[in-house]
Chain A
Amino acid sequence: QVQLQQSGAELAKPGSSVKISCKASGYTFTSYYISWIKQTTGQGLEYIGYINTGSGGTNYNEKFKGKATLTVDKSSSTAFMQLSSLTPDDSAVYYCASGGTTTLFDYWGQGVMVTVSS
């Protein structure tokens, strides 16, 4: 069965960066895109972007350009999202999700809580 295993919770200082991972199993990694979604109590679910796991091509929500950088390592079936120049507004749960080109969010990881605090 499809599984997406995300890395552990992060506590980061303002101005720093974090890189969270999403390891896929149970399917051919390059068959599905990997997307990233931010969840906060105030803003709900926000789409960050997706990466084409085969070509490495990316699609970002304009709001997250410059904030999030999506990459993949096909050899380990793992996708990564780096968040830079962190502020308290970046504190949230971040999910990865895999899916086809017109569904994107078929399967979800367990989420990673990122807390930005001095």
Chain B
Amino acid sequence: DIVMTQAPLSVSVTPGESASISCRSSKSLLHSNGITYVYWYLQKPGKSPQLLIYRMSNLASGVPDRFSGSGSETDFTLKISRVEAEDVGIYYCGQLLENPNTFGAGTKLELK
């Protein structure tokens, strides 16, 4: 199975500042069709996960453009600019290249 490793496990951010979360995959997530099958999800406290970014850099519907995704074949970054209170929660990366789809362990974002 493809292992997704996230760092850091937790991050504390001052509102209005930016935050970056890293994710590394154990093999390339770049398909021969040119698409990189890495995704980002946010699970707010007491809620279900929600899709933020799909195929590495595409913003899901309704997600503020303060969120952005980037990366290479195995190293990926979620950046949140101008962090707000509503961004608190656990962020997960995930891969949909191979079965079984797998997720990282999560990064908890808190406010200072």
A61 CB contact (under 8 Å) in B39, B50, B54, B100:
B100
Interface size on A, residues (CB 8 A): 20
**How far, in Å, is B24 (CB) from chain A's closest CB?**
16
> In the complex, what residues of A have CB within 8 A of residue B103's CB?
44-47
**How far, in Å, is B89 (CB) from chain A's closest CB?**
13
- The majority secondary structure among interface residues of chain B is loop
Are B48 and A47 interface neighbours, CB within 8 A?
Answer: no
- The majority secondary structure among interface residues of chain A is mixed
A104 CB contact (under 8 Å) in B49, B92, B96, B106:
B96
B105 CB contact (under 8 Å) in A44, A62, A99, A107:
A44
CA of A110 to CA of B43, assembled, Å: 11
**What size tier do the contact residues of chain B reach?**
20 to 34
B67: CB under 8 A from chain A?
no
CA of A10 to CA of B48, assembled, Å: 18
B111: CB under 8 A from chain A?
no
B94 CB contact (under 8 Å) in A45, A59, A102, A109:
A45
A29: CB under 8 A from chain B?
no
CB-defined interface of B97-112 with A at 8 Å, one 1/0 digit per residue?
A: 0011111111000000
Q: With A44-B106, A110-B48, A111-B48 as given contacts, are A105 and B99 in contact (CB-CB < 8 Å)?
A: no
Are B101 and A104 interface neighbours, CB within 8 A?
Answer: yes
CA of A58 to CA of B54, assembled, Å: 22
Closest A residue to B51 using CB positions = A106
**How far, in Å, is A40 (CB) from chain B's closest CB?**
12
A108: CB under 8 A from chain B?
yes
CA of A46 to CA of B104, assembled, Å: 10
A19: CB under 8 A from chain B?
no
Which of B41, B51, B105: most chain A CB closer than 10 A? B51
Q: Mark B residues whose CB is within 8 Å of A.
A: 35, 37, 39, 41, 48-51, 54-55, 60, 92, 94, 96, 99-106
Could you list 8 A-B pairs, sorted by A, with CB under 8 Å? A47-B101, A102-B37, A102-B55, A104-B96, A104-B101, A108-B49, A110-B48, A111-B48
